[in-house]
Structures are given as C-alpha cells and as structure tokens.
Amino acid sequence: MDPVSLPAAEAPAVVAVMCSAFEDYPVMRWCLGDPPDYGARLRDLVGFFVAARVLRGEPMYGLREADGQLSGAAILSWSASTVAPPALDAAREALWARLGAEARARYEAFGAVTRGFEAPEPHWHLNMIGVRRGLAGGGRGRRLLDRVHRHAAADPRARGVSLTTELAGNVALYEHVGYSVTGRARVADAFESWGMFRATVHA
C-alpha cells in the first residue's frame, strides 16, 4: 500500500481526510472557535488549503485502503514566491467573507509567526499530512512522509522539506526521521508552533 499521486478530481476526498485528521488541531480550533457550525467552517478552511494546491498545480499524495477509500493524504507547496492565480485570490476573499474577520485575523497572526521559521533555500513545504481518525498508528503517516521525502529527492531544485507542527509530541517523531527544529514560538499565548526542516541529499 504505497501512496500515489492524486489528480485534482480527488480534492474532495483529500479535504475529507484532512478534516477528519485535523478536527481538533490547535490551529483550527484557535482560528475557528467552537461554533455550532464548526464542521462546516473547518471544511471551508481545509477546502481552501487543498484548492490552493490544485490551482497552483502542486502535489497531492494519498494512501488508499483495499476498498479504494482514501485513508491518508499529504499536500505540498513550493517555497519560491509565485504570482497567485486570480482564481486563488478570489477563493481566499470568498473564504474570509464566509468565516469572518476574526478568523482571518487569527489565521494571519499564525502565518506571521510561522513565516519566521522559513528555510532560505529552495524546498518543498509540507502543508498538511494526515490520516483519518481511527486509522492512525498503523504506519500510514510514515509511508506518506516517506513519499514526500522521495518527491523532494527527485527534484534537483529542492534542498529539503519544511513543515510546522503545533503538537509538542510530534517534534521528536519528526526529529527521528531527520528533521531539525528551525524555530519555536508561541502564537498569541494560545499554543506553540515549531518550524522544522529536513535536508535532502540528492544521488
């Protein structure tokens, strides 16, 4: 059961996986609060993250079960600045019109903190990696992470992979597979965030 590259048509399935995996993640809860329509708001926010990758033509990888269901996914973005497609700018403004100014301010505050972790060299950033609830702990996340590392190794431009995590327990797990902490900061006294980077050695 190896992760496969996913086409744009699989975006809804990727959103479903990420919403399951990140339902109680600190960033999501902090940005969105705990309103009665939290599930719908989470789908909007995660849907935008996934749509951004689709609109930019960036990689999505997925892990399928024997029944064909997507059980895990990872989405990546390239570190170099590029001009956003007009459709992406429009989607961003529509997202915050739905979620509101407070959610936008919180998310942008989070982004301001994590930008301080950015590695200077060209690299792939692991935006999200997740496994559906109830299926975590079976090695699926590691297989997805290994696929991300192979993606970076196959790209001669890439010097590595960066990511952020807001769970202290994840730091040692990522260090175990070669990541180093590049920064650590508290986000508005709500939670901590760690920036991490894994250098890629090309053959």
- Give the pLDDT score at 1: 76
- Give the pLDDT score at 203: 67
15 with 47: CB under 8 angstroms?
Answer: yes
Residue 81: burial class (beta carbons within 10 Å; 0-12, 13-18, 19+): exposed
State the Rg of the chain over Cα.
16
Residue 196's CB: how many other CB atoms inside 10 A? 23
| pTM over the 0.75 mark | yes
Q: What is the mean pLDDT of each run of 10 residues along the chain (203 residues)?
A: 94 98 96 95 98 95 94 94 84 96 96 88 96 88 96 96 96 97 92 96 76
SS3 labels along 128-144: EEEECCCCCCCCHHHHH
- Give the pLDDT score at 138: 84
- Give the pLDDT score at 13: 97
